[in-house]
Amino acid sequence: MEKFLTSRQRLINAIEKKRTDRVPVSTYELCARNSYSFENNEPSYSGLMAFIKENTDAVTMWDLGSNGRFVNSSYSPDVKIDYGDEGNYHVQHLALNANGRILTQTLKWSDNVKTTWNVEHICKNTNDVDALMNLPYEPVTYNASDYARISAETGDGGIIMSSVSDPAGTAIDFMEFGDATVWALTEPNHFQSVLDELHRRNMINMKNMLETQTVDLYRICGAEYVTPPYLPPSCFEKFEYPYLCDIVGLLHKYGAKARIHCHGKIRHVLDMIIATGADAIDPCEAPPDGDITLSEIKEKTAGKLCIFGNLQLKLLECGSTDEVREYVKNCMLSAKEGGGYVIMPTAAPIDIPLSPKTEANYRTFINTALEFGRY
């Protein structure tokens, strides 16, 4: 094997559980090789992003353009959208006419936090869900005109990753989270019928997407909604596992890799995640945020799944330099052996401006990972 691999080779080897020269280092949603991402256009992030680009292995997050609208469909319903300001927040009010039933949603965001809060979900009950699902289904089409740019920017410095949602991830987001879990537990047949239809649409749309442009890796989102303590493992087996198997199988058919994204407590569903045939898992949170240590995950997944994780963002934002360095060293002790490991934070900062403490801790994390990650 070459003494030094490119970042692209290093990441592919890790995902395929093959030998590599060192543990790949990913900064997750801090995409140093995507000039359109907010952190590359925010001055307070510029120093850190230059350091990341020079010293890490990019998993560049990028999604194809599409004409997707609501419920995995390109159908354009009658929608009224109003914008305004409430205090320090910008607000979007949406009203959707679903065959005479008016469904409303409210989103909020601020200038100093790069995220959007869904403060009023579009469905308040299952009658709203039925109205939304009764909108016509029209397959989604995709536009890969931006692929040449993102491919050139990533180059040998990493791989490209897109995101897809499984049906539970879509359905549960229709409602406030607590209401959605009650729906799944108390009306399981209705819940599953919605999942079945969303999955049918999703598989058609994904085929269209993959035929337009296939990228290296796909992050499948939604599994964390169907894990303890929110829902029991029996619900994961019924509402998550079979759909994940289909999604992973379709991705593999087109030559892509699949990474299952699942925050939280995965101990009692990990065997099912492995059985999907996926190539990787993230972010593998340790207790108290999760319920299984990195060493235990490594033991259960060795040779089966590549582990992406499990450095908590809160440690990078709030911990001391010594705490970050010690944690990264322990990650290497827990998961480095035998390959199949990419060290990565569980999330990325979204504050504007970037905290100097966070930047310093990111630099410590990266330098320590490079120091102790070589095989």
- pLDDT at 1 (0 to 100): 44
**Average pLDDT over every residue of 317-339:** 97
Ramachandran region of residue 77, left (φ > 0), alpha (ψ -120 to 50) or beta? beta
Rounded distance between C-alpha atoms, residue 173 and residue 323, angstroms: 36
Q: Judging by beta carbons within 10 Å of its beta carbon (0-12, 13-18, 19+), is residue 52 exposed, middle or buried?
A: buried
Distance of CA 268 to the CA centre of its chain: 21
- What does pTM read for this prediction? 0.96
**Average pLDDT over every residue of 225-241:** 98
- pLDDT at 4 (0 to 100): 80
The C-alpha angle 212, 217, 218, rounded to 5 degrees, equals: 75
- pLDDT at 330 (0 to 100): 98
- pLDDT at 3 (0 to 100): 61
Beta bridge partners of 371: none
Contacts of 67 (CB under 8 A, 6+ apart): 74, 140, 141
Per-residue pLDDT tens over the stretch 103-136: 999 999 999 999 999 999 999 999 999 999 999 9
- pLDDT at 2 (0 to 100): 47
CA distances from 160 to 112, 274, 283 (A): 28, 23, 18
Per-residue pLDDT tens over the stretch 336-375: 999 999 999 999 999 999 999 999 999 999 999 999 999 9
Per-residue pLDDT tens over the stretch 146-161: 999 999 999 999 999 9
Band of residue 5 on the pLDDT scale cut at 50, 70, 90: very high
Rounded distance between C-alpha atoms, residue 248 and residue 202, angstroms: 13
The residue written with tokens 């827990």 in the block is 334
Per-residue pLDDT tens over the stretch 178-220: 999 999 999 999 999 999 999 999 999 999 999 999 999 999 9
Chain length of the chain:
375
Per-residue pLDDT tens over the stretch 43-100: 999 999 999 999 999 999 999 999 999 999 999 999 999 999 999 999 999 999 999 9
- Please check the confidence at residue 32 and state whether its pLDDT lies above 60: yes
Rounded distance between C-alpha atoms, residue 84 and residue 91, angstroms: 5
The residue written with tokens 């539970």 in the block is 168
- Please check the confidence at residue 145 and state whether its pLDDT lies above 80: yes
